[in-house]
Chain A
Amino acid sequence: MTTALALPAVHRRHVPVLVTFGLFVLAFATGALRYENFGTAQVFADLFIDNAFLLVVAIGMTFVILSGGIDLSVGSVVALSGMLCAVGTSRLGLPGPLVILVVLLVGTLFGAAMGYVIHVFEIQPFIATLAGMFLARGLCFTISEKQISIENGFFDTVALNRVALPGGVRVSAGAIIALVTFAAAVYVLHWTRTGRNVYAIGGGEQSALFMGLPVARTKIQVYAISGFCSALGGVLFAFYTLSGDGLHAVGMELDAIAAVVIGGTMLTGGSGYVVGTLLGVLVLGVIKTMLTFEGTLSSWWTRIAISVLLFAFIALQRLVGIRRRARSSPSASSPAPASPSPTS
Chain B
Amino acid sequence: MTEPVLEVTGISKQFPGVRALDGVAFRLFPGEIHALMGENGAGKSTLIKVLTGVYQADEGRMTLDGAERRVHDPPHAQRLGISTVYQEVNLCPNLSVAENIFIGREPRKFGRIDWARIRRRSAELLARLDLDLDVTAPLGAQSLAVQQLIAIVRAIDLDAKVLILDEPTSSLDRGEVERLFGVMRRLRDDGVAILFVSHFLEQIYEVCDRVTVLRNGRLVGEYPIGELGRFDLVSRMTGQELHDLEQLEEAAPAITRGRRLLALEGAGRTGAITPVDLEIHEGEVVGLAGLLGSGRSELARLVFGAEAADTGRVRVGEETVALRTPRAAIDRGIAFCPEDRKADGLVMDLTVAENIVLALQAARGWTRPLPPRRRDELVGEYIRKLRIQPPSPGTPVRNLSGGNQQKVLLARWLITRPRLLILDEPTRGIDVGAKTEIQKLVVALAGDGIGVLFISAELEEVLRLSHKVEVLRDRTLVAELANDGSLTPERLLGTIANGAS
Contact = CB atoms under 8 A, between A and B. Distances in A.
Contacts of A298: none
B112 interface: yes
Contacts of B270: 331
Nearest to B339: A337
Contact of A210 (B90, B134, B307): B90
Given A211-B104, A334-B307, A324 B141 contact: yes
Interface stretch (A53-61, A100-108, A164-172, A188-196): A188-196
Contacts of A200: 92, 95, 103
Contact of A333 (B91, B137, B271): B271
A295 interface: no
A343 B74 contact: no
Task: Specify which of A3, A206, A210 lies most central, judged by the most chain B CB atoms within 10 Å of its CB.
Answer: A210
A335 B88 contact: yes
A338 B306 contact: yes
Contacts of B31: none
A207 B272 contact: no
B317 interface: no
A329 interface: yes
Interface in A192-239: 192-193, 196-197, 199-200, 202-204, 206-213
Interface string A309-344: 000000000000000110111011111011111111
Interface in A1-52: 1-3, 5-7, 9-10, 13
B311 to A, nearest CB: 14
A10 B75 contact: no
B198 to A, nearest CB: 16
B146 interface: yes
Given A3-B134, A6-B141, A200-B92, A340 B304 contact: yes
Q: How large is the interface on B (under 10, 10 to 19, 20 to 34, 35 or more residues)?
A: 35 or more
A270 B326 contact: no
Interface string B71-104: 0001100110000101111111111000100011
B113 A193 contact: yes
A332 B271 CA distance: 7
Nearest to A9: B141
A206 B93 CA distance: 12
B91 A207 contact: yes
B72 to A, nearest CB: 12
A104 B114 CA distance: 31
A126 interface: no
B183 to A, nearest CB: 16
B343 A271 contact: no
A191 B88 CA distance: 29
Nearest to A195: B113
A100 B93 CA distance: 41
B90 A343 contact: no
Nearest to B104: A213
Given A196-B106, A197-B103, A208 B143 contact: no
A86 B103 CA distance: 44
A187 interface: yes
A335 B134 CA distance: 27
A161 B423 CA distance: 79
B94 A193 contact: no
B137 A342 contact: no
A60 to B, nearest CB: 21
A342 B144 contact: no
Given A1-B143, A203-B94, A340-B336, A196 B137 contact: no
Contacts of B272: 333
Task: Specify which of A5, A203, A334 lies most central, judged by the most chain B CB atoms within 10 Å of its CB.
Answer: A203
Contacts of B78: 212
B358 interface: yes
A332 B141 contact: no
Contact of B92 (A10, A208, A332): A208
B302 to A, nearest CB: 11
A191 B113 contact: yes
Task: Specify which of A3, A331, A343 lies most central, judged by the most chain B CB atoms within 10 Å of its CB.
Answer: A343
A270 B94 contact: yes
Given A212-B74, A337-B344, A342 B359 contact: yes
A207 B336 CA distance: 33
A241 to B, nearest CB: 37
21 contacts: A1-B142, A1-B146, A5-B141, A6-B136, A196-B113, A202-B94, A207-B90, A209-B74, A213-B103, A270-B95, A271-B94, A325-B140, A331-B143, A331-B271, A332-B271, A335-B87, A338-B306, A340-B301, A340-B326, A341-B326, A344-B347
Given A192-B112, A328-B142, A337-B340, 19 more contacts: A1-B143, A6-B133, A6-B137, A7-B134, A193-B104, A193-B108, A199-B92, A200-B92, A207-B89, A210-B86, A212-B75, A324-B141, A327-B141, A328-B141, A331-B173, A333-B171, A340-B326, A340-B344, A343-B361
